[in-house]
Each structure stands twice: as C-alpha cells, then as structure tokens.
Chain A
Amino acid sequence: MQLLPPRVFLSVIFILLLQTLAACSSGSGGSAGGDCKLGSSANVIVDGTVTFDLVPHNSSGALDHVNTAETSSKGVTVEAVCNTVIASTSTDANGDYSLQIPGETSNVFIRVKAEMKTTGTPAWDFTVVDNTQAQALYSMSGAKFNSGTQDSTRDLRAASGWTGASYGNARVAAPFAILNSVYAASQKVLAADATVIFPPLKINWSTNNVPVDGNVNIGQISTSFYSPSSAEIFLLGDEAVDTDEYDEHVVIHEWAHYFEDKFSRTDSLGGLHSGGDRLDMRVAFGEGFGNAFSAIATDNPVYSDSLSPLGMPLQFNIDSNNSCINSGWFSECSVHTILYDLYDSADEGSVDVISLGFAPIYSVLVNGQKNTVALTSIFSFITELRKNKAANIQAAINNLVAGPFATINGIADEFGTGETNSAGKGSDVIPIYTGITADSTANSLCVISDFREIISTANGTEYFNGNRLSSYRFLEFVPPLTKNYTITATKVSGAGNDPDIVLFQRGSAIASALSTQSNTENLSTGVLNAGATYIIQINDAGVTFSTSAVGKTCFNVTVSN
C-alpha cells in the first residue's frame, strides 16, 4: 500500500475537517445574515403587519382551502437580523409591529419567530418547534434589504403552502395557525385573571407527525396529545393522514390539558377516549374539560377535527343539549355539555338556565378543584362551584347536572355520595367511594372489564386501555391517629389474581403496592396524618390491562393499624 505524500495527507485532513464542519453547520444552522453591515446613520423605523393563512372548516368539519383567509398573527416575536438580532418586538392584537434599526444598514432582514413570549405580570412563553428536527423553532423571514435613511413598511405573510390539491410548498402558516389558537386560549384565561404567569410550553408539530406509536423524534407520536411528564404538546401534521394545525378545537383541547395540569389539577390517567366511552371519572372530567374549553376559548361549540381528505371529519356540537351516548358522570360528553352550558350566554330549554361566564369556572379550577381531597371529577368540580353561591344559582346548577345529557342523579358532595347512575352495573360501579375506617374491612369490592378497549397485542396477549369505568375502585380513609397503616387487598372471586393498591392524597400518589404477588397485595402506607383524607385505589392488573382476566374480580380490602 502506497502512503500519501505528507502535504497531500495534510490537505486531505484539512478538507475532511472543513467538510465535517460544513455538514454540521448545514444540519444545525448557519449564519442568518452573513453579509449584513450595520449602518451609522440615524435610526429608521421599519414597521408592518404579520399575517398567516388561516384555513377554515366547512360545514362538515373538513378544511376549506378555497376560503383561506389572511389573518393577523398576534403576539409573535418579530426581529431585525443583521448577523445577530439588532432589534426585537412582538406584534400587537392586530398583528402590527414596529422596529427601530440604524439607517443605511445593508442586508438586514425581518424574521418572525413562531413564539409568543413576554415577561413580567402577566407572562407567557409558548413556542412551536419541530420534534423531528431536534425541537428547532419555526420562523419565517423576509428578504434582505438596505434600511436606507427613510422609514419603511414591510408586511410578512406566512402562506399555507396549499397548491390546489396538496401542500406543494412549505407549510409556513402552520406554526402561526397553532399559535393563533394558543393566543385565543390564553386570552380567555387572562380575561379571568390578568396576573397569570403561564409556565413555558413547547408545542411540537411536524409534517412528519403521524398517528402511530413509535419514535417521536421521527414523528411517530401516536396522536395529538399533551404529556404531563414533559409539559409539552405534540400535534399531528402529515397531510397524507391527519393535520391538526388548523383544527383549533384540537389544539385548544390539548392546551386545556396543559392548563389543567399547571394551574388546576389533573388526576386523569389519560389514554384513548371517545364521546360514547364509559370512562374512569378522572379521565371523563379531564377530557370533558378539554372539549368544553376548546368551545369556550373560541366561542364556537362545534368541535371539528378535519382528519385530512382521507377520512370523514370528527365533528360534534358541545352545546347540542342532546342526550350523550352512555351519559353520566363517567362520560366526557356529559362533562363537556355541563361545563359549556355553565359558561355560555345562551340558555336552552328548561335544563340550561344558567350563564356564569368563564371567571367562576376558572376560579374553581385553580382553587377548590385543585385542592379537593377527592379525586378530580365532575363531583368535585360541581361541589366547589356551588359553594357560596345564591340559592337560585345552586338550583340552576343542580338542574343542569340532572339534565338528559348528564343523568347525574344529584351531586351531594365531592365523593358523589348517593349517585345512582351505575351504567347498569349496580354495585360493580357504585358507590363511587367506599368509606373505610381503621381496623375494618370493605367486603367484595369489584372491578370489571366490561368497558375496556383493546389497544395493542404483544406475544399473543391483548392489552387494554386501563382508563375505563370500574377499572379502578376507590375507598375513602380518614386515619384516627397519626401513624403507619397497612392496607391489604385480598381476592375473593373472579379470574383476576393480581391486585394492586395506590394511596392518594389530594391527587398525588404517596404510596403504592404494584407487585405481581398472586391474589393478595399489602401496602405499608408510611405515616398518615390523623383527620386527613386519603383515597385508596384498588384494581386488578389483569382485569385492567390484559385478557388474562375477563369479567368481574372482587376483593376484600382491609385497613389495619
């Protein structure tokens, strides 16, 4: 083998180095305004309006590209860039901006970032990033120009990229459409509380985002969702299957989960859900609130998910006042109808005779609902809402929750005491909470598999979404003494053989026993405070998640000193 001459070798190393640097630079960005030279003349004003193409829905809920409307982009960051950012501002409620930059600056350009940020009180920090590009922030830029010595106006518009039958060009408008929905949502909250400090929220959107479980870094995000653990939203974007950037109800539904998580409390298990499902009450409240808030923030009760040209749009009227399929305290449809009717100014029939607006709903969410000793549900919400209200308002609330779309038989307290709607399953569903005292046993508390739904198969076993009615049962325990207790769940009947126990205090799991021990589970609680309220959650792993146990499984639950 012949060695290269030293000079040639040196050159090769240099070229490799340069190529590597270039590759790195092209993958992760280069200088935005390399040729810019700052002028020394007096400042000039560059102002203008930032807009984006908003694609509306037609009457059936599909995207209506023909009627795309140029819409002002509110509250977004606008920058003048000359190698670096030399001036920055945010657009106002009309999408207008104004910047001052040195006169005679050459090759400067205006950039609009897909972010809404402000500090102080109130404050917010919302950004739209690409989860398939290492969470790079979306932006759009105008052409380079010389600022000259006179003021100038430069309007920037984000185009949808639609070319008649598909997105033939870059979908520049998409991140700004998402922010438009976020703006509407945050403004609704700010109208109720002008001092809100919104925690940072990243919204991940990509043209690669598709509805399949997998690697989110390549766009396999399962569905549009909010993740409580990372406090981020992910939105679908592949035009071949499902795009959500113009589905404002979808975007705000997910934003509502962020709001509930950060400002109120969500005890929701999450997971798949639809309007007719009989859900765990925590899930039903969270999803019902998400739907209702999407209608509240937009003042449009018709929820539309366009689902692209491939499928029929998913559309439902949150204010229809029709009976919900499988209505009850376990139905997201019942919850969203109640919440929207509490808010809206239109009263319908004899059932909806109340119009509170959003402020009282907000107040309950950030106070009573956040601190309830029960799990978050329509029971805890309504109980807190009724507090300190005039008798006629309380009566109107009671009237609403008993309506045909809700069929909740009176809300006595946050525990749903006395509720009689069991979805036809009697004592397998109610009472919702079973009271238990120290050194006592609750006999034959049952969980059922009737309402679960298959979500995956692995090694021949089918797995289910454990977020349905009576996948879990609950007990209320108030310790008489401050000390450790032992909670035991022992199977007494049924195909399940893997009981699990979780202990909650104000929605936080403070102790759990999730072993695979057969037929019995023991939980040492740690020190519990006398007089405090704790919620014991019981389930069977087989009944909740897999085909290993079908039907009903019952346990005796004991709390011992």
Chain B
Amino acid sequence: MNYFKFFIKYSIGILFIVLAACNAENAEVNSSAANNKQTDKTLAKQPHYIGKPHAPIVMRYKASVKNTITVGQQISYKIYFSTSINASDLQVRYTTKADLLIQNPSMSIAFGEQVKGKKNLLELNIIPQQDGLFYIYLSATLDINGQKQSRNFVIPVQVGEQLIEKTLLKKSSSQGEVKQKPEPARIISMPAIETTR
C-alpha cells in the first residue's frame, strides 16, 4: 500500500512536470515585435519597428460590443478611413470567411474625392457563426491621378471564450506536422513532391 501511495504521488508529480514542460515550451515564443510597437516617448530615443512601404491610408474602428461576443449576436462596426494626400477617389472592399456573416447589402463602398485628413465612415454589421478568432478583411484603394494604390487591413473578431491558440492550432495543422525529435529545435515537416531518377 505504501508503494501504491508513493507511486501515485510519483505519477502525479511526473504529470505536473510534463505539463509544465509543455507549457514552458509554448511560452517561449517571441513577442518582441509587439513590445517594440508602442507609441510613446520611447520612440524618441530608440528604433521602432521598420515596416514595408504602404499606400497612405489609415484605418481605425469602433465595435458596438466591448464584452464577449457571442454566436448569433449582431455586431456593428464604425470603420473610419483617411488619407494623408489628396486623391480623386477612395474605394473600400471588404469580406469575411463563412464564420462571420456580413449583413451589409454591398461588399464595397466608394467615398469619392479625398482631401488630406478627411474621415470616411463605413458602417459594417456582422453576425458570428461560431466561436473562435476570425477576421474582417478590408482593402482600401486610392486613385491618385489614375494610379491606384491599396492598403489592406483586418479587424479581429474574437467570438466566445475559446482559446485563440486552439483556433490557431487547427488552422496551422494544414501547413505541416510539428516535430521535436530527434533535433533539439522544433521543425515543421511539410511534404515534398519527390521524384527519383
């Protein structure tokens, strides 16, 4: 019986160690980029993140719901677009995947002539179809003297309490299997098209 008690304690101990090891590995992921993107006085003295060129369009938004979003609940977004240069037109296209139903009758809007700083409002209503992390995809296109330039955006929609990582894991599995052994580093193994000669 003493052996039995010892074994239970030992087993539970191992269980916790294994779980801790799993969690520790998952927690090692880099987060420096997010930390480096703060907009405060530190920008005055140290390098910020350095991104690719983009069309001079800015997007901001407000959602009608601040608490947890639930399946079937209609969510309204007020989405503002502005440009830093004058342009003859600004058009916005938007879409979602099947997880979010868009209630708007059209999937695009034209705001017409733009002057620097003008705010253009797009009101968008969606109804989530299932729990998870989803996105509204938007593309804003400026027409500058007949030359068109786009900038793409997404608005994240977290539906329910489901862990984001769980949604992600499901999505990532299509890229390949993650393997640890025999190497010390994690490796994503994807299938090659192999031919022999």
Contacts and interface: CB of A to CB of B under 8 A. Distances in A.
A314 B52 CA distance: 11
A392 B36 CA distance: 45
Contacts of B186: 28-29, 133-137
Contact of A314 (B28, B54, B135, B175): B54
Nearest to B22: A24
Contact of A224 (B35, B52, B95): B52
B120 to A, nearest CB: 13
A454 B59 CA distance: 9
A249 to B, nearest CB: 9
Contact of A141 (B19, B190, B195): B190
Interface in A460-518: 463, 465-467, 472, 500, 502, 509, 512, 514
A137 B184 CA distance: 11
Contacts of B71: none
A315 B35 CA distance: 31
Contacts of B176: 138, 170, 172
B58 A453 contact: yes
A28 B180 contact: yes
A488 B187 CA distance: 54
B154 interface: yes
Given A27-B22, A28-B22, A135-B30, A455 B39 contact: yes
A310 B93 contact: yes
Interface in A164-210: 170-172, 204, 206-208, 210
Interface string A214-231: 111111111111111110
A42 interface: no
Given A215-B34, A454-B58, A225 B50 contact: yes
Contact of B195 (A133, A155, A268, A466): A155
Interface string B156-197: 100000001100110110111111111101111111111111
B106 to A, nearest CB: 16
Contacts of B33: 216, 221-222, 225, 227, 230, 232, 234
B149 A314 contact: yes
Contacts of A32: 179, 181-182, 187, 189
B11 interface: yes
A310 B7 CA distance: 59
Given A20-B19, A137-B185, A277-B56, A208 B135 contact: no
Contacts of A225: 33, 49-52
Interface residues of A, number: 136
B150 interface: yes
Interface string A116-156: 00000000000000111111111111110000000011111
Given A241-B137, A241-B154, A305 B84 contact: no
B51 A136 contact: no
A226 B178 CA distance: 25
A5 B170 CA distance: 38
B29 A257 contact: no
B52 A244 contact: yes
Nearest to A326: B85
A172 B192 contact: yes
Chain B interface, DSSP helix/strand/loop, else mixed: mixed
A207 B175 contact: yes
Contact of A312 (B148, B185, B197): B148
Contacts of B115: none
Contacts of B124: none
Interface string B1-32: 00010011001101100110110011011111
Contact of B53 (A137, A214, A274, A457): A274
Given A244-B52, A270-B51, A171 B179 contact: no
A17 B11 contact: yes
B181 A31 contact: yes
Nearest to B1: A6
Contacts of B183: 85
Interface in A7-38: 9-10, 13-14, 16-17, 20-21, 23-25, 27-32
Contacts of A143: 194
A291 B53 contact: yes
A107 interface: no
B145 to A, nearest CB: 10
A155 B36 contact: no
A381 interface: no
A135 B190 contact: no
Interface in B20-76: 21-22, 25-26, 28-37, 39-56, 58, 60
A155 B137 CA distance: 39
Contacts of B31: 215-217
A545 interface: yes
A250 B93 CA distance: 23
A502 B44 CA distance: 7
Given A20-B18, A30-B181, A207-B171, 14 more contacts: A20-B15, A27-B178, A29-B180, A29-B181, A85-B182, A136-B187, A138-B190, A216-B34, A224-B51, A228-B36, A240-B135, A271-B49, A453-B58, A514-B41
User: Shortest 9 CB-CB distances between A and B: which pairs?
Assistant: A29-B180, A311-B150, A29-B179, A270-B48, A311-B139, A136-B186, A230-B32, A142-B194, A225-B51
